[in-house]
Amino acid sequence: MSGPATDGSDVLVTVPTYNERESLPVLVTRLHRTLPGLRILVVDDGSPDGTGALAQEIAAADPRVRVHHHAPRAGLGAAYVDAFSLIVDGSCGGFAHGVGWIVQMDADGSHAPEELPRLLAAAPDADVVLGSRYVPGGATAGWAWHRRLLSRAGNVYSRRTLRLALHDVTGGYRCFRRAALAQLGMATVASEGYCFQVDVAFRVERAGLRVREVPITFVEREHGESKMSGEVVREALWRITSWGVRDRARRFRARPARP
- Give the whole-angstrom CA distance, residue 240 versus residue 30: 35
- Give the whole-angstrom CA distance, residue 220 versus residue 253: 44
- Does the model's pTM come out above 0.95? no
- At residue 249, does pLDDT exceed 80? no
Confidence band for 73, pLDDT divided at 50, 70 and 90: low
- Cβ neighbors of 21 (< 8 A, separation 6 or more) are 47, 49, 50, 51, 54
Confidence band for 240, pLDDT divided at 50, 70 and 90: confident
Residue 40 CA neighbour count, 13 Å, CB half: 30
- At residue 150, does pLDDT exceed 60? yes
- At residue 228, does pLDDT exceed 70? no
What pLDDT score was predicted for residue 173?
Answer: 96
Most confident of 4-8, 24-28, 161-165, 219-223: 24-28
Taking the CA atoms of residue 182, residue 167, residue 224 and residue 52 in that order, the dihedral angle to the nearest 10 degrees is: -10
State mean pLDDT over 200-213.
93
- Give the whole-angstrom CA distance, residue 20 versus residue 97: 27
Look up the CATH number of domain 11-252: 3.90.550.10
- At residue 63, does pLDDT exceed 70? yes
- The answer to whether the beta carbons of residues 64 and 40 sit under 8 Å apart is yes
Phi, psi angle pair for 183, to nearest 5°: -80, -15
Q: What is the pLDDT of residues 94-131, one digit of tens each?
A: 899 999 999 999 999 999 999 999 999 999 999 999 99
